Amino acid sequence: PGLACPAARPPQRAASNPPGPAESDPGEGRVFLSESCVRRLLEITEGSEFLRLQVEGGGCSGFQYKFSLDTVINPDDRQGQRGGARVVVDVDSLAFVKGSTVDFSQELIRSSFQVVSNPQAEKGCSCGTSFSVKL
Q: How far is 45 from 18, CA to CA, in rounded Å?
A: 22
Q: How far is 105 from 112, CA to CA, in rounded Å?
A: 5
Q: Are strands 50-57 and 77-82 parallel, antiparallel or unpaired?
A: unpaired
Query: What are the pLDDT digits (tens) for 37-92?
Result: 999 999 999 999 999 999 988 766 678 889 999 999 999 999 889 999 999 999 99
CA 30 to chain centre: 10
Q: Which residues are CB-neighbours of 134 under 8 A, at least 6 positions away?
A: 119, 120, 121, 122
Q: Which domains does the chain have, with CATH numbers?
A: 32-133 (2.60.300.12)
pLDDT band at 119 (very low <50, low <70, confident <90, very high): confident
Query: What are the pLDDT digits (tens) for 100-113?
Result: 999 999 888 889 99
**What is the pLDDT at residue 110?**
85
**What is the pLDDT at residue 12?**
43
pLDDT band at 10 (very low <50, low <70, confident <90, very high): very low
CA 82 to chain centre: 12
**What is the pLDDT at residue 3?**
63
Question: 31 and 85 in contact (C-beta within 8 Å)?
Answer: no
Q: How far is 90 from 77, CA to CA, in rounded Å?
A: 4
Query: What are the pLDDT digits (tens) for 27-42?
Result: 457 899 999 999 999 9
Q: How far is 30 from 125, CA to CA, in rounded Å?
A: 24
Q: Which residues are CB-neighbours of 80 under 8 A, at least 6 positions away?
A: 2, 3, 4, 5, 30, 31, 33, 86, 87, 88, 89
